[in-house]
Chains A and B, each alone.
Chain A
């Protein structure tokens, strides 16, 4: 980004902390349900209420989910990891400390490859990923007091911390969305933004070069962003705000003098707002949690979890382009989630032509998915249905229009493609005698079009198309278009 008036060169520098709620059945240290939306204080027990004398027991699946994300992010998963207490006092934290990981996280030093609009990819380094427990929820809409619901207290949370490797809003969004796709892909989180399964905290500052001197603006951490839109707005706003403030005071508005600041985000105005400096905010007095024993990760365990990861989104997208001849856009659309690509792979394995399946999935399939707000894989088509329909197209049994109608019908009512085609009269008519009758009827009924074709004027092409359309209409789309055109040419040429 360059400002022409001043010829300043501005490089945004952004790191991102992402909190991901893991989709375990139960909480991290007790066996209360991990479930969003239940009535307040129904999924609570002495452990997650922080009663005295209770002992937490670590959820094995939460550890495996965290390992899986770490390994998929190319992280080292060390052989030894432990649990620490982070002390702070807030009503949604009943024990007055949060169980987290301080110096020995479950995963560290990895990277995530993100797509750029140029078609290139960029590696964003991941500093660490550690497990911790979520806090409860404060309700502020009761007059005169705050109500605390502890259903969420103790839900496993994976905090993934990036290095400050993102240099634009586009890269921040690419990273956030790639991470969202990855955790869903791995099946470790629903990552439903509306349910708060994923929260962002970007750290933003600018490196501004003016007249050969580089100035660094104070780093701002924006707390608790709950949607992609909020993340995008907050980062874009901060980049502009920091540049504006720096211009007013180039020597004073710098990191060396002002340090790090926290800001909140206002959803109504889409702006970040100053938060009162919390003077002792970072005095968390971490200490090893004596209630929890460490976790040691053997090579066998690490390898088993790594073996469950399978093909990741970018690798699958590249394979779809190479093996199925798809363009980037189609391959990308089919690798937003794992099941949609699985559907394609399995249909091809069942003998269908990839291109036909892709056209069905990204045509009617994507439209229906969009309407229902679900993934393409969730529109309710089976591998058998998709493969059969694609094969019928390849064999010339149905044309594209008919296939679309069949697809629509089977999504609405279920059933087998061939049976639907027969019932609806959508099979291509291969009886050329029948086709010829339709052609003759169209010629007899449209003398003006016939004359325009035979006179060879500039209306010829349009009239030919019109007659073809009449035949197709008479056949209810069942006539093979190539045959129709051949017959028309023979008869009128």
Chain B
């Protein structure tokens, strides 16, 4: 694997994931993620010359459901695990601007 996990990359991933990282966490995660990548790097050693690319681990296709409604949760159930709520909404800190 050519990608090296350094502090800068960990901070970048942290930013994408909207989480704040301390310097200690950055160096710890850099080491851990590096180990993970290295383990996967082992797979690179396999000869896949004559192996077809695969999009899915299960030999299955077209698992499709009928377009027929089934009961949803109640609003109380839906909000039961939420850290915070306001009226019948999930409550989050004030958001400004657009999404994706």
Contacts and interface: CB of A to CB of B under 8 A. Distances in A.
Interface string B57-82: 11011111111111011010011010
Given A41-B78, A142-B86, A295 B16 contact: no
Given A86-B100, A93-B99, A280 B12 contact: yes
Contacts of A296: 61-62
A5 to B, nearest CB: 38
A168 interface: no
Interface residues of B, number: 40
Contacts of A280: 12, 15-16
Contacts, number: 149
A146 B100 contact: no
Interface stretch (B27-35, B37-45, B90-98): B90-98
Given A61-B67, A290-B56, A44 B16 contact: no
Interface in A284-326: 284-285, 288, 290, 292-296
B64 A90 contact: no
Contacts of B78: 41, 44-45, 49, 150
A31 B98 contact: no
B57 A146 contact: no
B63 A57 contact: yes
Interface centre among B86, B92, B93, B100 (most CB of A within 10 A): B100
Nearest to A91: B92
Contact of B97 (A32, A43, A276): A276
Contacts of B97: 275-276
A170 to B, nearest CB: 28
Contacts of A135: 99-100
Interface centre among B62, B66, B72, B97 (most CB of A within 10 A): B72
Contacts of A288: 55-56
A228 interface: no
Contacts of A82: 55-56
B33 to A, nearest CB: 14
A41 to B, nearest CB: 5
A275 B100 CA distance: 13
A62 interface: yes
Nearest to B12: A280
Contacts of B81: 51
Interface in A48-93: 49, 51, 57-63, 82, 86-93
A58 B98 contact: no
Contacts of A51: 81
Contact of B90 (A42, A89, A147): A147
B67 to A, nearest CB: 4
A409 interface: no
B62 A293 contact: yes
A90 B99 contact: yes
A41 B89 contact: yes
A293 B92 contact: no
17 contacts: A31-B65, A31-B68, A40-B88, A44-B78, A49-B78, A58-B63, A59-B64, A61-B66, A61-B67, A87-B16, A223-B98, A275-B97, A283-B12, A283-B16, A288-B55, A288-B56, A293-B63
Interface of B: 12, 15-18, 55-58, 60-70, 72-73, 75, 78-79, 81, 86-95, 97-100
Shortest 5 CB-CB distances between A and B: which pairs? A147-B89, A60-B64, A61-B67, A31-B70, A148-B90
